Each structure stands twice: as structure tokens, then as C-alpha cells.
A and B are shown apart, each in its own frame.
Chain A
């Protein structure tokens, strides 16, 4: 059982709303990531963090922001949701010096 938790699991929201997707891990991992996954497509890196107060943008310009105030918590915020943001969002963490990520179960977001 993965020790990385994402809430909510499913979310339907109207255009223009501000939303925050939560991600928490209990493993003490320094590195955390947000990926976007669409059906039949590769995972695309949105944001990542090496540790507290460290955040970087990934390849995908998703108009989202992240924060890392505590090691265990890495929330993703969309200031103004659009239908193009409809997707599955996956949070992951890893240990420095070891490959492979631990993923959460994802948040499936639908913007109407």
C-alpha cells in the first residue's frame, strides 16, 4: 500500500473556479512531483520539488502553482480552471539516489 495520498479522488468543477489538489506522503521523501496523465498519452511533468521551499516547473505549462512548506505536503493549485485542465493528476515522491517513484492514486478532474 502506497503511503502517498491524494484528495479528492474525483472532482467536477465549473470554469473559472479556483481549486487545490492535495498530496501528502508519510515516507519522508524529499523529492515530490506532479504529473498529468491523459488516456493513451505519456505522463507529463507539471511541477517538482527537491525539498521544503524548493519548487520548479516541469515541461507542461499547466497554469498551475505548487508550494512545499512541509516535507510531507505538496498541493497543486489552479487559480482559474478551464475545460482544457480536464485530466488525471498524479502526485509522486522519490528518495534521492534511488530510482522509481511512489505514486498516489490520482485526482480525476473534470472542468465543465
Chain B
């Protein structure tokens, strides 16, 4: 069983929709949670970073962590065609060095 599970999609939504991207994980020791956005033929770029449980908002993006359910989410409000990309979740524990990445969800936002 993978430590981090992420639906590969693709997820196709109309412009302006609210997008929900999710990951589940099995290691209860994970404390640091990240979302990366990766455009085609580019490397991933850090989008959101949260520590432990709770919400974090940055513009149109909101990251949520529910440690009791081992479930994290990224919400994109008022989605734009420029949001079309692959979104990867990533996480690690407090003492560990290694960051575990999900396989990514491909998102298409149609104009």
C-alpha cells in the first residue's frame, strides 16, 4: 500500500468552478503537508505549505488538513484556464528527512 494516495484524474471543470483536490495518507506521523503545481514540461513549484491540522488560505487557494481522517485537500476558487496543471501533494514527519509525494492529479480548466 502506498503511503500517499492521490486520484490521478484527469479532472475537467469549467472556468470559474470551485476545484477540490485531495490526498489520503497512512502514516499518522506526518506533520508537514505541501501542495505543488506542475505545468507541462516544467518542474513542480511549491503552492501551499501547512503544518499539522487546520486551514491555510492564500488568494484563491485554500489548503486543509484533517489529521484525524488522514486526509488533506486543496481548494481552488474561481478556477482559471491558467490553473490547468498537475497538482501534487507531499508530506513528511517531524524528524524525518524524506518527503513523500503523491502521484499528482491532472486538472483541466475549460474557458
Contact = CB atoms under 8 A, between A and B. Distances in A.
Interface of A: 2, 6, 40-43, 45, 48, 58-59, 90, 92, 99-106, 108
Contact of B49 (A40, A43, A45, A100): A100
Closest 3 pairs between A and B when the two form their complex, measured CB to CB: A103-B43, A100-B46, A43-B101
Interface string B1-20: 01010001000000000000
Contacts, number: 48
A86 B75 CA distance: 34
User: Which label, helix, strand, loop or mixed, suits the secondary structure of the A interface?
Assistant: loop
Contacts of B43: 2, 6, 90, 92, 103-106
Interface residues of B, number: 23
B44 A99 contact: no
Interface of B: 2, 4, 8, 32, 34, 36, 41-46, 49, 88, 92, 97-104
Contacts of A90: 43-44
A99 B8 contact: no
B45 to A, nearest CB: 7
Contact of B44 (A48, A58, A59, A103): A103
B32 A99 contact: yes
